Amino acid sequence: MKYNAYMNNMLIINLNESSYDIVETPLFLIEEYIGGKGFGVKLYQKYIKADTEPLSPENVIMFINGPLTGTLAPSFRSCLITRSPLTGTWLDSYFGGYFGQEIKYAGYDAVIIKGKAAEPTYITINNDNINFHSAVDLKGKKVSETSEMIKNKHGREYKIACIGPAGENLVRYALVSCEHMRQAGRGGAGAVLGSKNLKALAVRGTNLVNVNDKKGFLEAVKKAHQELNKSPAIKSFKEDGTPGSIPYAQDIGMLPTKNYKYGQFKQSENLESKAQINNLWMRNLACSGCPIACGKIGRVFKGKFKGIISDTVEYETLGLIGANLGLSDINHIIKIANLCDELGLDTISTGGSIGFIFEAASKSNLDILQKEGLEFGNAETVIELVKNIASRKDELSNILAEGVKRASKHIPDSQEYSVHIKGLETPAWSPRGAPGMGLALMTADRGGCHQRAFPVSYEMGDDLWRGEKLNRLGVDKKAELVIYLQNKLAALDTLVKCDFGTYGISEESYRMMLNTATGFNLPPDYWQTLGAKIWDETRRINLKHGFERRDDYLPERFVKEPLPDGPASGHYISQADMDKMLDDYYRLRGWDKDGRLDT
C-alpha cells in the first residue's frame, strides 16, 4: 500500500564514507506517526542512543517533512530533529520557506544524515543524483554568501540549507539557515552540522506531490483559506507580522526586560511594528503555499547600517535582543538580528546569553567580566559580542558560546539570574504573571520553549477554557489546558504545520486536508490521541538522557523573585505552585509522580 502525498522514500547519507542509501519510508511510520515530529520521535530512538554525544559523528540529524508539505495546503513547513548540543536531549526545530518542500520535490519524506565528513563538505541532491563536494572554499562564509556561491556554481533552482561560522565553530546555539531568511533556529542544530563537517545541503527536484482525492483536497484547502481570512489573529499577522505582539506582551507584563528581571520595557513602543515599517519593511513575504505572509522584507536605505536586507525582526528577537538587553533603537536591533542570521546564531539564546553576562558583570568581580561596556543598553558591545561568539574569539565569547547553563558554572552565585530550562534559554514570554505559561515552559520537551503550548490567551481571559474564564494567577486547570494544547500542536507538528496557521485553521480542516491528500480515514478525535502518544515518546527520550522531574522546574528568577512591574506585579510562581501543576500534569498524562512512564 502506498499513500498519496508521501514520496515514500527516505535518503540516508553516511558522511563517513561519502555514501548514501535510498530506502522506502516504513509503512508503520506513515500509518501511525504521519510525518514530521511523529517520524522524528521514532527515528530518534532508532538512531540515537542514551550516550550518543551530540557533537560526535554518532549523532544523527534529520530533515523531515510532513505529508502536506509541498502541496497547496496552507501553511506547512519542515523540521530538523537531532540530539541538541545545548540541552543534551531531544531537539525538534522547525523552519518555513522553501527548503523542506524542495526535499519532497527531490523525492524524499526525510533526509537522514549520519557520520562525519573527513573535510568540509557540502552535498547536492538533484532527485536521485547525489554528490559530495569540498566546502573548503565556503569555510567561514556567512550564510548568504554560502548560498550564493553554491547557487552560482550549481544553478539557481537549488534551495540551500547551510550553517554560518557559528555552526562551524560549534557554538551550542548555532542555527541552520534554510533558504532565504528562514531558519531552524533553536537548540544548536547548526553545531551538529558543523561537527559533521557539513556546511550545506543544496536540493532541487522535479517530482510531483500527488494527492488522493483531488476535488476533495481543493475543497478542504478552500475551507482552510476561508478560516484564515476570518481570523482576527491572522489579520494581525498579515499586517504587523509577529512584532504585533510587542504591545500585547508589554500590557500583560510578559516582555522579558534586562535578563528577565522586569516584565515591561519603558521604550517598548520603539520595538513595535511601526518602527520597522518606517525603517525596513518594503513588502510582504510568504513561505511556499502560505496566504498569511507574516514576513515583511525590506532594505535599510539610510544611516550606519545602510544596505542590510532583512526579513521581519521577529517578536522573539525584539524581546531577547531588544528589551532583554535594554536596546531600544530599532536600527541597532535590525543590525544585530542580521548579524545573528548571517553568522548563524539563534537570536533567542544569543539574547539570553548576553543578557545573563550583562547582569553577571554588574554583580561579579570575576576578571573576565571587567571589560568596558558590559552593560544593558550598550549596542556596540552587543554587536562585538555577537561577532566574537560566532568565532569563539576569546575567553568570554567562548563561555557565552556555550549558552547560559554552562556559562553560569563559570560565574559564582549566578544561579539566581541564570535563566534557562533544561539548558534551553527561555523565549520572550516571561511567565511570572501566567503560571500556565510557566508550566508550558517547564514541561516543553525540548526545554524552555513557547511553541509546544501557548496558554497565555486563556490565562488573560481572551479565550475560554471549556466554557470557563480561568483565573490568570491561579494554578487550577492549567495542567489540563497545557496538555490539550501540547497534544494538539504536537499532532499538527506531524503534518508539519506552521504555528500561525493554527490561529485560523480548525482541527477539522487539518483533518480533512490530511485525509483527502493521503487517503487516510482518520476520525475527528484523532489529534489528541496522536499528540498524547508523541508526548509519551519525547518523555521517553528525555528520561533516556537522564532528564527527570528535577529538570521540569522554572529558573530561580521566576520562582523566588516577585515581578517588580506590570499588572501581575508582586507575583511569582512558587515552588508549591510548580509542584501542584506538575503533579496534575503527570497524573493527567498517566505518568507517575516522578514523571516516569513504563514503570
Q: How far apart are CA 225 and CA 506, in angstroms?
A: 11
Give CA separation, 336 vs 119, 332, 437, in Å: 31, 6, 28
- The number of beta carbons lying within 10 Å of the beta carbon of residue 587 is 12
Q: How far apart are CA 415 and CA 430, in angstroms?
A: 17
Query: CB of 327: closest distance to another protein in angstroms?
Result: 25
Using CA atoms of 39, 40, 41, 43 in order, give the dihedral in degrees to the nearest 10: 80
Instruction: For residue 319, give the DSSP letter.
Output: I
- 52 versus 126: smaller Cβ distance to another protein: 126
Tell me which residue of 15, 123, 120 sits closest to 59, measured CA to CA: 15
- 125 versus 193: smaller Cβ distance to another protein: 125
Burial zone of 519 (CB within 10 Å; 0-12 exposed, 13-18 middle, 19+ buried): middle
Tell me which residue of 221, 293, 183 sits closest to 5, measured CA to CA: 221
Is 489 in contact with 478 (CB distance < 8 Å)?
Answer: no
Angle at alpha carbon of residue 104, lines to 144 and 23, rounded to 5° = 115
- 55 versus 293: smaller Cβ distance to another protein: 293
- Kindly list the residues in this chain that would bind another protein in the complex (CB under 8 A): 70-72, 98, 105, 157, 180, 204-211, 214, 225, 282-291, 293, 295, 297-299, 309
Query: CB of 102: closest distance to another protein in angstroms?
Result: 9
- 278 versus 599: smaller Cβ distance to another protein: 278
- On the CB side of 80, CA atoms within 13 Å amount to 29
- On the CB side of 276, CA atoms within 13 Å amount to 32
Query: CB of 218: closest distance to another protein in angstroms?
Result: 8
- Full DSSP string of 220-259: HHHHHHHHHHH-HHHHHHHHH-GGGHHHHHHHHT---BTT
Query: CB of 295: closest distance to another protein in angstroms?
Result: 8
- 233 versus 368: smaller Cβ distance to another protein: 233
- 70 versus 531: smaller Cβ distance to another protein: 70
Query: CB of 66: closest distance to another protein in angstroms?
Result: 13
Is 324 in contact with 355 (CB distance < 8 Å)?
Answer: yes
Query: CB of 7: closest distance to another protein in angstroms?
Result: 11
- 186 versus 204: smaller Cβ distance to another protein: 204
- 216 versus 377: smaller Cβ distance to another protein: 216
Rounded to the nearest 10 degrees, what angle do helices 478-492 and 575-589 cross at?
Answer: 50
Is 228 in contact with 234 (CB distance < 8 Å)?
Answer: yes
- 36 versus 253: smaller Cβ distance to another protein: 36
Query: CB of 225: closest distance to another protein in angstroms?
Result: 7
Q: How far apart are CA 493 and CA 489, in angstroms?
A: 6
Strands 121-126 and 198-204: parallel
- 309 versus 597: smaller Cβ distance to another protein: 309
Instruction: For residue 199, give the DSSP letter.
Output: E
Query: CB of 229: closest distance to another protein in angstroms?
Result: 9
- 68 versus 117: smaller Cβ distance to another protein: 68
Helix/strand/coil for 7: coil
Query: CB of 360: closest distance to another protein in angstroms?
Result: 38
